[in-house]
Structure 1
Amino acid sequence: MHAWPASEVPALPGQGRDLRIHDTATGGLVTLDPGPVARIYVCGITPYDATHMGHAATYNAFDLVQRVWLDTKRQVHYVQNVTDVDDPLLERAERDGVDWVALAEKETTLFREDMTALRMLPPRHYIGAVEAIPGIVPLVERLRELGAAYELEGDIYFSVESDPHFGEVSGLDAAAMRLLSAERGGDPDRPGKKNPLDPMLWMAAREGEPSWDGSSLGRGRPGWHIECVAIALDHLGMTFDVQGGGSDLAFPHHEMGASHAQVLTGEYPMAKAYVHAGMVALDGEKMSKSKGNLVFVSRLRQDGVDPAAIRLALLSHHYRADWEWTDQVLRDAQERLTRWRAAVSRPDGPPAEPLVEEIREALSNDLDAPAALAAVDRWAALQQDQGGTDTGAPGVASRAVDALLGVAL
C-alpha cells in the first residue's frame, strides 16, 4: 500500500530542541532523545468514513512530532497502518450494499487526498492489515507456543495474564478496563474466556465474511491489536520512540498491543512513550462515526475552505485537549491565516529569528501549538503596526511556519 506525497520541509537557521512530551504510561512529561533516526508508529484509520476532524487532529499532532524531530536534524522513520478489514468496515459495506474491498480502497484514497491537502508528512511505511496477514500468522503461532494464547470455539485469544506489565500503559483498574473493553470492540462477557479482558488474536472464519489461510490457525482473520504489533515489530522493532493515536486507543488497543509485543520478544517496553491526542466534539458530543456527528475535511475542501485554515483551526488547540469544532473556530483560523499572509507579503519586517526560537520552544514543550501560534500572532502584529527593516524577515517567518507548523503562507 502506498502513502501520499511529501510536501517539502524548508530548512531553518540553527537547530531545534529535543521534544518533551506527555507519556500516558508514566502520567508525566518525558524528554525524548532518539538516535539519528527517530522511530514512531501511529495507528491509522479503519477506512469506512474518512477523514473527519477527530482524525485530522490526531494526525496533526504526530505530524508536529515529526517536524520537531526533523528540525533537530534527525531522520524520522514513521509507520502507519490501515485497518482495511474489520467489523465496522464490513458492517458499513453491508449496510450500503457495496463491496468491502472497494469501500476500503475508496476511503483510503480520500484519506490520502486529505492528508496531502493538509500537508501532513507521510509515513515511510503505510501498511494495510490484509497485506500484513503473512506476518501476523507466525506471531499468533508463537504466542500459542509460549502458552500466552488459547483457543475458544475456533477463535484464538491472548492471555493478558501472560504479561507482567499488563495495565501499565493505561493505568486503569480491572473494572474500568472491562467497561472500556465492552465499548471498544472487546467481548468481556463471552463465556469460556480465561480472563474477561483477553483480546482476540485470530477470528475463525465466519460465513459470509472474508477469511484467509492461517496455516495452523485455520481460516480466519486477525484481531485488531496483533495487526499493529506485527507491522510495528517488522518495521521498527521494539522500544521505538513513540506509539501514537487518539486517547481512545490507550485502552484497549495500545495496552493490548504492548502486551502482545512484550510477551513475543521478552523485551520491555514496546515504546518509550505512549502519546495520545484528545477528542474533538461537535454539538456537545465526541465526533465519531457511530454517532454520525462528523465534520469531514473533504467536505470543507469541496466547500472552498483553504486547507491551511483547517490546519490552523487544529493547531489552535493543544493536542491533548478535548475540544469542540464550531463555525467560529474555523472563522478564527481563516482570519488568522489572512493576517499571517498579509504580514509575510511585505518586503521587510521586524527580525524573525527570535520568532523561530519561540516556535521551537513552544513545540518542544509538549507540542504547545497554541503558544506557537501566539508567537506568530505577535510577530504579525508588529509587522502590521510598526514594520521593520529586515528584508529577510518575512521569508524566515514564512519558512518557519511552514517547516514547524505545516502551514504554507
Structure 2
Amino acid sequence: MKQYAVHENNSLGREHLENKSPLRNDFQRDRDRIIHSSAFRRLMYKTQVFVNHEGDMFRTRLTHSLEVSQISRGVARSLELNEDLSETIALAHDLGHTPFGHAGQDALNQCMKSHGGFEHNYQSLRVVDKLEKRYINFSGLNLTFESREGILKHCSTKNASALGKVGERFLNKTKPSLEAQIVDIADSIAYNIHDLEDGYRSGILTISKLKQLDFFAENYGNLSNNLNSNEIDEKVCVYETLRRMMFILINDVTNNSRKLLNQSNIKTIDEVRNHKTTLINFSETIQNYLNDCRSFLRIKLYEHPRVKLMTSNANKIITDLFNYYNDNFETLPIDYKTPDKKHRSIADFLSGMTDRFANEIHKSLN
C-alpha cells in the first residue's frame, strides 16, 4: 500500500471509543456494519431510473451500490490504495437516497426548502451517524472518520458547519482521501454505463438512438468490424459494447490517476488533502466522452415522456406524504419522531421509504 493511502492504523478513529476487533480491521468492520444495516437492505427496493413496478430487470440502489463497490475495489487495488475503505464508502454512498431516485430527492428538497433543504449525501451521513439504532452505547453505526468523510460527497456550508471535523473540508476547500475520490469516479462510471443499459432494456434507447452517442457508436463499430455482428443477437452486441465502454473508462481513470499522482509527487495523506485538484480523474478525452454520455442520457432518457411521467408521479407522492405528516405529525413512527425537529423527522422517515412502501402509504391516504 502506498504511503499516501489511508491505513487503518492511522485512522482518526470513531466518535465513540470501541475495542479493536481481533478478526477484522476497522474499515472491514465499517463495511460489515453497513451491510447488516436496515438502510442497506432497503436499497433493494429503491429506484435508479425506473420505479419498482416497471419490472425487476432494472437496477435498484442496491445493485448500483454493489457495482460501484466492485469498480472502486478494482481501481483501489490497481493504484495500491486501501481497497477496504473504498469498498466501505461505495456500499454506503446511497444509504440516504429517497424512494423514486432523483425525482424523489428533488421533491423532498422542495418540501424542505424552508426547513434546511434535503441533500442525499448529508442524509447518508445522518443514517450512519444517528438513524440506525442497533447498539446499546450509541446511535448510528459509529463508523470511522475516514468512512464518514467519504460518504459525505457534497455538503452545504451550513450543514458542514454543524458537522465538526468531518465537515471541515467543505469549509477549508480541501480534498478527501484518494479512496473517497475513487468512489466518486466509480459512481459516475457505473450510473452512466448502466443507465444506458437500462434505457436499452426499457425500449426507450433503441440501437439507432444509442448510435447517436459517439462513444457508443465507435465501440459498436469496432465490435462489428471484428465480428460478423449480423450473426449475433442485437442485445448481446449492445451489452458487449457497453462492457467495452466501461473497461475503457476504468482503464483510463486508473492510468491517468497514476500519472497525476506521479506528477504531483504526493507523499502523504495530508498532501493529498491539501492538493489543489483531485488526483483521481479521467484524461481530457475520456472526460469529454463521459460528459457526452451525461448529456445524451438527460435528453434521450431522463426527459423521455415515460420517465417524466414517473418523475411527476414521484413528485406527487412525496409531496402528498410530506404534507400529510406535517398536518398529522402524531402519526409519524416514534423511531423517527424528534419533537423539536418536526420537518427533519418527516424527511428522515420519507427518505428511508422504499418505492413500494411509499406507494402503499400514499394509496392508503386516498
Normalised by the length of structure 2, the TM-score is 0.32
Greater percentage in helix: 2
Normalised by the length of structure 1, the TM-score is 0.29
Q: Which is higher, the Rg of structure 1 or of structure 2?
A: 1
Greater percentage in strand: 1
